[in-house]
Amino acid sequence: MKESLWNSILSVRKNSPLVHNLTNYVVMNNTANALLAAGASPIMAHAHPEVEDMVTICGASVINIGTLDEYWVESMLKAAKKAHGLGKPWVLDPVGAGATAYRNETVASLLTYKPTIIRGNASEIMALAKVGEAKSKGVDSVHQSTEATGAAQWLSNTYGSVVCVSGATDVIVSGNKKILISNGHPLMQLVTGLGCTASALTGAFAAVSNDKLTGTAAAMALLGIAGELAQKESAGPGSLQLNILDKLYTINQEEFFTYLKAEEDNG
Ligand SMILES: Nc1ncnc2c1ncn2[C@@H]1O[C@H](COP(=O)(O)OP(=O)(O)OP(=O)(O)O)[C@@H](O)[C@H]1O
Ligand SMILES: Cc1ncsc1CCO
Ligand SMILES: [Mg+2]
């Protein structure tokens, strides 16, 4: 598995996929920079007259509901419908799902277009699957990622999606297959939108990977290891944010193989 994860990283660097992002105001700049640092090519676009054309020309679309409003939700539905119709990969990041009825209604509509990949924290994934009583307190998770494995499996089976629950351990599920990535550092929780960055990177990897489970795991491993390496050189969240961009760009095979903590379970 080690080699296939690393090959996915090389494939993003070599193919520089165009990744369409409908994302939130908080993270727009940072996710664009993370995609560039990983070797991909970002485009942020949500205007109704162009959003479907953008889906058509890009390798993947990433739909993140972080700062949604009526206009943006229409853009998201148009994009998801187009991607589904063309059979193009698209990633759903259900930021804050479970926190408000509006977010729940929005993700319910988006799910009808069967996201290729769903990436959220444990509370969001549990809210999405309506499993348990997800007590979402806004955009931060109040659950451990491993608590949401059942919800992830249900979503994967229901929508045919690869589902990634991020956290201290990233749990990535496709049907009865599962990959666990235990990289990252707790300080990453104090940088806003690293989950959104994970989703954006997942879009880049989906654009170049036939095997979406491996592609998603590679994206998560890359971000987690970049976070671990960056933390060693950072005084706090501010420098961590910048240093992660540098590590996404410079990470080499030796560092990747030394730090990777991945486990596979093929059911
Ligand atoms: N406790 C932790 N220990 C180690 N790494 C962590 C921890 N929490 C998060 N991470 C790292 O941060 C990444 C982002 O995951 P997180 O679950 O924090 O996303 P999120 O809650 O959606 O964030 P946001 O909403 O701010 O974008 C994880 O994939 C992991 O690499
Ligand atoms: C803080 C915040 N609020 C809406 S989106 C976002 C970025 C983290 O998901
Ligand atoms: Mg999030």
Ligand 2 centre to CA of 48 (Å) is 23
* Residues comprising the chain, all counted: 267
54 assigned binding-site residue: no
With left for phi above 0 and alpha for psi between -120 and 50, is residue 96 left, alpha or beta? left
Closest to 221 (Cα-Cα) out of 192, 186, 263, 250: 263
CA distance 170 to 119: 10
Model pLDDT, residue 136: 45
CA distance 186 to 131: 26
Model pLDDT, residue 110: 95
Answer yes or no: is the C-beta of 191 below 6 A from any ligand 2 atom. Answer: no
- Per run of 10 residues, the mean pLDDT along the chain (length 267 residues) is 97 98 98 98 98 98 98 98 98 96 94 97 93 50 82 94 98 97 98 98 98 98 98 98 98 98 92
Q: What tens digit of pLDDT does each residue of 66-117 get?
A: 999 999 999 999 999 999 999 999 999 999 999 999 999 999 999 999 999 9
pTM score > 0.90 for this model?
yes
Answer yes or no: is the C-beta of 196 below 6 A from any ligand 1 atom. Answer: yes
Model pLDDT, residue 137: 53
Answer yes or no: is the C-beta of 15 below 6 A from any ligand 1 atom. Answer: no
Answer yes or no: is the C-beta of 39 below 6 A from any ligand 1 atom. Answer: no
Best mutation site among 93, 166, 191, 260 for ligand 1, i.e. most ligand atoms within 8 A of its Cβ?
166
User: Where are the extended beta strands (E) located within the chain?
Assistant: 18-22, 41-44, 60-64, 90-93, 117-121, 162-166, 170-174, 177-181, 262-265
Answer yes or no: is the C-beta of 223 below 6 A from any ligand 1 atom. Answer: yes
Q: What are phi and psi of 16, to 5 degrees?
A: 40, 60
All domains of the chain in start order, with CATH: 2-265 (3.40.1190.20)
The DSSP line for 168-209 is: SSEEEEETTEEEEE----GGGGGSTTHHHHHHHHHHHHHHH-
Model pLDDT, residue 144: 80
How many Cβ atoms sit within 10 Å of the Cβ of residue 192?
17
ipTM of the complex: 0.97
Is 123 within 8 Å of 162 (Cβ atoms)?
no
Ligand 1 centre to CA of 189 (Å) is 5
166 assigned binding-site residue: yes
193 assigned binding-site residue: yes
